[in-house]
Amino acid sequence: MRKIFEIEKIEEWNNINSCYSDYEIVILKYSTECHISKIVEGDFSEWSKSLSENYKIIFVKMNVLESLSLSKILATEFNVKHQSPQLIWLTKDRKVKWFANYYDINLRSLSAHLEIVPL
């Protein structure tokens, strides 16, 4: 089963970013006070845990209520408007492969953007 990293601080992001430089990174930003976020977070967790190890992808979650400053830093860094729930999918070169907000984040859309990345 794949691990989902839960981060709150820029140091945690920098560590993941550097330690997994040859992996794609999928970031989910969510709020514990939003019913849409709860649905999206459940889909994200189910989807990420169901993937085989043949995908070189690291999964990251951040609660925007606890890590709003980091969420805004990442939005600026990757040139996407800060929203929640929001998914930002980065290539191993740290370019935005895909991003989505609200109900656009679901099992079908996640799988549609999935490509096998050789190990």
Question: Does residue 11 belong to any structural domain of this protein?
Answer: yes
Question: Does residue 115 belong to any structural domain of this protein?
Answer: no
Q: Look at residues 94, 93, 106 and name the one whose alpha carbon lies nearest to residue 28.
A: 106
Question: Does residue 111 belong to any structural domain of this protein?
Answer: no
Convert the pLDDT of each residue in 15-59 to its tens digit: 998 998 889 898 998 888 887 888 878 888 887 877 767 678 889
Question: Does residue 116 belong to any structural domain of this protein?
Answer: no
pLDDT band at 110 (very low <50, low <70, confident <90, very high): low
Count up the domains in the chain and report the number: 1
Report residue 66 as tokens: 């606890």
Q: Look at residues 58, 62, 78 and name the one whose alpha carbon lies nearest to residue 17.
A: 58
Query: Which range marks the domain in which residue 33 is found?
Result: 4-103
Predicted local distance difference test score (pLDDT) of residue 114: 63
**What average pLDDT does the segment 59-66 reach?**
89
Contact (CB, 8 A) for 107 and 98 = no
Question: Does residue 95 belong to any structural domain of this protein?
Answer: yes
Question: Does residue 15 belong to any structural domain of this protein?
Answer: yes
CATH number of the domain where residue 62 is located: 3.40.30.10
Question: Does residue 51 belong to any structural domain of this protein?
Answer: yes
Angle at 80 between CA 96 and CA 10, to 5 degrees: 85
Question: Does residue 41 belong to any structural domain of this protein?
Answer: yes
Structure pTM?
Answer: 0.84
Residues 6+ positions from 113 with CB-CB distance below 8 Å: 89, 97, 98
Q: Look at residues 111, 108, 106 and name the one whose alpha carbon lies nearest to residue 37.
A: 106
Which bin fits 52, alpha (ψ -120 to 50), beta or left (φ > 0)? Answer: beta
pLDDT band at 66 (very low <50, low <70, confident <90, very high): confident
